[in-house]
Amino acid sequence: MSALSQLELNGCRKLLKLLPADDLLTLKDTVTNRMIAVESSREAIEAIITYSQNSEELLKRKKVHRDIIFKYLTIEGVVVPPNSEKQQLVKRTLELWSSGNNSVNDNNPGHSDKSGDGLADLTELGKQFCQWYFHIFNSQNPMADQPAKEWGPQHFWKDVRLLILSYTGEQQKEEFHGAELVCQRLLALVEEERLVFCPNLAHPGMQCFSTPHGLVLVAVAGTIHRDTTCLGIFEQVFGLIRAPMDGNSWKIKSLHLKIKGQISREKLPEVTYDVNEMLQLLM
C-alpha cells in the first residue's frame, strides 16, 4: 500500500487531475492490476495513490507523460528549461515535494512581518513576495485547476503605474495608471489570454534592492506558458512601499513588465537590469 507523505499525496492528486480521463483509467488499471472498480475520476485518483509504492514510481509511469509533469510544475510556479527530459522533471517534482514549498501562503508577506522594517533580509522578502504574487496571479487562469485566490486593487497603491513592453514580433508598449485599471490589465493576461508566469527565484533570476526612501525594488525573470507550451520569457520589476494604514503590508506602487517571444533553451531566464536601470524604469 502507499506510503506517501501528506505533501506527496497533495501533489500527486493535483498532478493526476491533469491527466485525460482515458489515461487516468488506464493508469488505474495498471497500478491496481484491474482489481479495483471505480465510478469517477476522483475514485480513480485515490486508487492510483493508494496502490502506488512511492511517488517516484508513480511519476515514472508511462501514462504520466512528460508534458503533464511539465504543466504541473508550471502551475506550481517551478521554472524548468522548456527542453527538460521527463527524468529531469521527475527529479524536480520530487525535490519540490520533499522541500515542503508547494504550499504558498495566500497572505501578502508584509502582513506576517512582526520585526523591524522587514528589510533585514531583502532576498527572503523578495522571494516571499514573488511566491505570494505569482501564486494568486496564476490562480486566476481558468486552466490552473485550483481555486482562484483573492486578486484585486487592494494589493496596489491607488496611483500605481504599469508599463508593459512586448517584443513578440513588433514592439508594443502599453501604460496604465490607477489600481483598478492596472489590476484589470494584469488579470486579462492570465484570465483571458490563459498565460502562466513562472518566476525563476534563484539568483540571478531574482534580485532585490532598497532605497533610503522606503522603496523596495524586486526584479524577477521567468518563463511564460500556455498549457504545456512555453511561449517566451518575461522580466518584471516591482516597486513596493509599505502601507501604514493597511496593516503595514507591502503594496505595489509601480510595475514594469517586459515580454519576449524568444526562448533560451540553454539556461533559465535572468534579471538583466541593475539598480539604477530599475529606478529609471519605475519613474
Query: 133-185 pLDDT, tens per residue?
Result: 998 899 898 877 666 778 999 999 999 999 999 987 788 999 999 999 999 99
Same structural domain, 78 and 138: no
pLDDT of residue 267: 73
pLDDT for residue 262 is more than 60: yes
Same structural domain, 38 and 133: no
pLDDT of residue 90: 94
Same structural domain, 182 and 46: no
Residue 1 domain flag: no
- Give residue-wise pLDDT tens across range 1-40: 456 888 888 899 999 999 999 999 999 999 998 888 888 9
Same structural domain, 13 and 52: yes
Same structural domain, 80 and 145: no
Same structural domain, 178 and 53: no
SS (H, E, C) 43-55: HHHHHHHHCCCCH
- Give residue-wise pLDDT tens across range 35-67: 888 889 999 999 999 888 899 999 999 999 999
Rounded average pLDDT over 208-235: 89
Residues 6+ apart with CB under 8 A from 56: 90, 94
Domain boundary among 73, 99, 125: 99
Q: How many other CB atoms are there within 10 angstroms of residue 280's CB atom?
A: 10
Same structural domain, 66 and 178: no
Same structural domain, 141 and 200: yes
Same structural domain, 54 and 134: no
Rounded average pLDDT over 203-232: 88
End-to-end CA distance of the chain: 59
> For residue 216, what is the domain's CATH number?
3.10.450.50
Same structural domain, 61 and 125: no
Contact predicate 118/126, CB 8 Å: no
Same structural domain, 249 and 140: yes
Same structural domain, 88 and 216: no
Which residue is associated with the grid cell 527572503?
A: 124
Residue 204 domain flag: yes
pTM beyond 0.85, yes or no: no
Domain boundary among 99, 121, 140: 99
Domain boundary among 79, 99, 119: 99
Contact predicate 105/132, CB 8 Å: yes
Exposure b/e, 156-182, CB count within 10 A at least 16 = b: bbeebbbbbbbeeeeeeeeebebbebb
What is the number of domains present in the chain?
2
- Give residue-wise pLDDT tens across range 73-113: 888 878 787 778 999 999 999 988 987 654 444 566 654 44
Cell matching residue 123: 532576498
Residue 104 domain flag: no
Residues 6+ apart with CB under 8 A from 245: none
- How would you class 192 by CB atoms within 10 Å of its CB: exposed for 0-12, middle for 13-18, buried for 19 or more? exposed
pLDDT bin (cut points 50, 70, 90) of residue 282 is confident
92: domain range? 6-99
